[in-house]
Chain A
Amino acid sequence: DTAVSQTPKYLVTQMGNDKSIKCEQNLGHDTMYWYKQDSKKFLKIMFSYNNKELIINETVPNRFSPKSPDKAHLNLHINSLELGDSAVYFCASSQNIKNNEQFFGPGTRLTVL
């Protein structure tokens, strides 16, 4: 009965590869997010979707492309992976766009070699 789940939990890959991270929430929330947490624990928002519509698109390379097939899912596809992409990626959801409580998934630890 996990609220926000992500797969995979760990991802180790070579530079230049393309990879995807999947996120699902079973809370019935309208809004979902992708965050990147670097090695210094700094958590920064990348994207946010509200009812499948992109509402926040921070300055991230266009190698990163989010996709929301429905309200419960928000996937992140990364093309041409670079060393600097190594980080922990967190998916989160909130009841709606105004709600301050965001529920985070367990994170996906991405290592690019």
Chain B
Amino acid sequence: QKEVEQDPGPLSVPEGAIVSLNCTYSNSAFQYFMWYRQYSRKGPELLMYTYSSGNKEDGRFTAQVDKSSKYISLFIRDSQPSDSATYLCAMRGGSTLGRLYFGRGTQLTVWP
């Protein structure tokens, strides 16, 4: 079993839809949870970062962490064609300095 599981999709939604992206993990030591966005033929870029459980909102994006279920989510409201990309979850424990464990990414297409 991989440390981090993520459905690769692809996911295709119309513009304006609410998108839900999810990851599950097995290592209860993970404390830091991130979402990276990767456009085609580009490197990943950090979108959101959460420590421990709870919610975090940034504009149209909301990240949720449920440590009891080992489940994290990213919600995108009012999705736009420019949101079309691969979204990778990433996480690490408090002691695994610098070592991020990535999900394999979910490919999202938002069509106009």
Contacts and interface: CB of A to CB of B under 8 A. Distances in A.
A33 B99 CA distance: 9
A100 B49 CA distance: 8
Nearest to B86: A41
Given A55-B97, A100-B32, A44 B43 contact: no
B8 A41 contact: yes
B102 A56 contact: no
Chain A at the B interface: SS class: strand
Contacts of A48: 98-99
A92 interface: yes
Given A40-B8, A41-B86, A41-B105, A104 B43 contact: yes
A112 interface: no
A4 B32 CA distance: 23
Nearest to A99: B98
Interface pairs A-B: 4 shortest CB-CB: A104-B43, A43-B102, A42-B104, A41-B105
Contacts of A51: none
B78 interface: no
B42 A100 contact: no
Contacts of A44: 102
Nearest to B107: A41
A50 interface: yes
Interface in A71-113: 90, 92, 94, 97-98, 100-107
Interface string A28-68: 00010100000011111100101000011000000000000
A100 B43 contact: no
